[in-house]
Structure 1
Amino acid sequence: MFFHKRGSFEHSRFSRIICAVRRFVFFAAVVFVMLPSLLWAGDRTPFPNVEFHPLNGQNSVMLEDFRGRPVLVAFWASWCGPCRAELPELVELAHELKDSGLVLLAVNVDSSAAAGQRFLERAGIELSAFRLSDQEQRMIGIRSLPTTILLDGEGLAAQIYTGYSASVIESIRLLVKGMSGADSDSIVESP
C-alpha cells in the first residue's frame, strides 16, 4: 500500500511547470541576446564602414580601405581571459594566411586605450590594435567577448564567432582559404 503526502501530485505538477517556465525564459533570453548578431550575419548585411583608431594614436583606417580582401574584426579586452588566449592565435593565423590577403583588425574594448596597449606590450604581441568610438561599438552590437567577425572581400559578414575555441580558429582558416584575396601583409600596421 502506497501512501502519498497530501498534495504531492499537485506539488510535482507545479515543479514541472516552474521548470518549463525557467527553460522558456532561459531560451528567450538567449534568443534576445543573440538575435541581433544572427540577423545581422544571416542576411549578409554589410559591416558598417567604421573608423578604426589605432591604440598608438597613429592615423585611422576605414573598413573600405580593405575592399576586395577578407577582413577579420576581432573584439577583445585585456581583462578577458578567452580574448588573451585567442589574440596570439589570430595573429599567427593572419601571418599564416597572408597570401590569402587576410587583414586582422583587432579592436580593443578596454575602458582606456592605455590598458589595451599595456597588455599587448607585456604579452609580447606584435600587433597594431584599434578602437572604435562608443557610438560605433553600440551600432555594431557586440554583447560578449571575444567576438570575431569574418568579412568577405565585399565587407559582408561571412561568419560571426562568439567565444574562443580551437574550432573557431580552424573554421576561420577554412573560410579564408575558400575566399580569394590580394597578396599582401595580413596585419594592418599603422601608417
Structure 2
Amino acid sequence: MKKKRLVIRTVILFVLGAAVAYTLYANFTKDQVQKVAVGEKAPDFVLTDMDGEKHRLSDYEGQGVFLNFWGTWCKPCEKEMPYMNNQYKQFKDMGVQVLAVNVGETELAVNKFSDRYNLSFPILIDEGQVQSAYGINPLPATFLIDKEGKVIKYITGEMTEATIKDYMEQIKP
C-alpha cells in the first residue's frame, strides 16, 4: 500500500513539475512570437475593405499608417474604435491613415459594428493571412508605420484617445 502511494505521489509531483516548466517556457518565449520587429519594413499585403476597394500597404508609403488589428467581440477594441475614428478625422488631412484589419469575421458583423460607431476609416477583412504574417495575438494590436514603411512601434492592449493622438503625432509625415 505504501509503495502504491509513493508511486502515485511521484507521478503527481512529476506532472506538476512538467506544468511549471511548460508555463515558464511559454512565458519566456511569448515575446518571440511577434514576427514584425520595430525598425523593420512592414510586410506588404493587399486586403479588401467593406466597399470592395483593395488596399495595398505599400501604396501608403509617404504617409503614416496606424495599422490596427481588431475584432467586434473584443471589448478593448470596441472601446478604442470611437477614439481612433475621432483622431483619424483630425489627422487624415495631415498624411496619417488608419487601416483597421478585422480578423476573420463576417461582413455582416463588421458592417453592423461599423454602422453603430459611424466609423469613417477603411475597415479591411483578413481571413488570417495578414494576422499570421504580423504574428498578432492577442487583440487589439496596433503597428505604427512611418512614411518609409518601417514599423516604429508595436502596441498591444487598449489605448486611450490621448495615446492614440500621441501615436498619430509620431507617424505624421
Shift of 1:172: 4.4
Residue 125 of structure 2 corresponds to residue 131 of structure 1: yes
Within-5 A mapping of 1:75-154: 75-154=69-148
CA distance in 1, matches of 2:144, 2:168: 8
CA distance in 2, matches of 1:60, 1:136: 14
Tell me if structure 1 keeps the 8 A contact 2:100–2:124. Answer: yes
Does the C-alpha gap of structure 1 residues 179 and 55 become closer, same or farther in structure 2, counting only changes over 3 Å?
A: closer
- Higher-strand-fraction structure: 2
Does the C-alpha gap of structure 1 residues 40 and 120 become closer, same or farther in structure 2, counting only changes over 3 Å?
A: same
**Paired residue type of 1:40:** V
TM-score by structure 1 length? 0.71
Identity of aligned residues (%): 25
CA displacement 1:30-63 (0-9 Å, x = unmatched): 34232232x6324x2211110021123x220101
Runs of 5+ unmatched residues, structure 1: 1-17, 182-191
SS across alignment from 2:44: coil
40, 43, 50: which one aligns with 1:48: 43
Shift of 1:92: 1.1
Shift of 1:145: 0.6
Does the C-alpha gap of structure 1 residues 129 and 29 become closer, same or farther in structure 2, counting only changes over 3 Å?
A: same
Runs of 5+ unmatched residues, structure 2: 1-15
Tell me if structure 2 keeps the 8 A contact 1:74–1:149. Answer: yes
CA distance in 2, matches of 1:52, 1:112: 14
Give the structure 2 partner of residue 4 of structure 1.
none
Does the C-alpha gap of structure 1 residues 51 and 79 become closer, same or farther in structure 2, counting only changes over 3 Å?
A: same
Moved more, 149-158 or 134-143: 134-143
Shift of 1:173: 3.0
Give the structure 2 partner of residue 34 of structure 1.
31
TM-score by structure 2 length? 0.77
Across the aligned residues of Structure 1 and Structure 2, the Cα RMSD in angstroms comes to: 2.5
Shift of 1:159: 0.6
Tell me if structure 1 keeps the 8 A contact 2:70–2:141. Answer: yes
Tell me if structure 1 keeps the 8 A contact 2:45–2:56. Answer: yes
Does the C-alpha gap of structure 1 residues 66 and 29 become closer, same or farther in structure 2, counting only changes over 3 Å?
A: same
SS across alignment from 2:48: strand
170, 173, 177: which one aligns with 2:165: 173
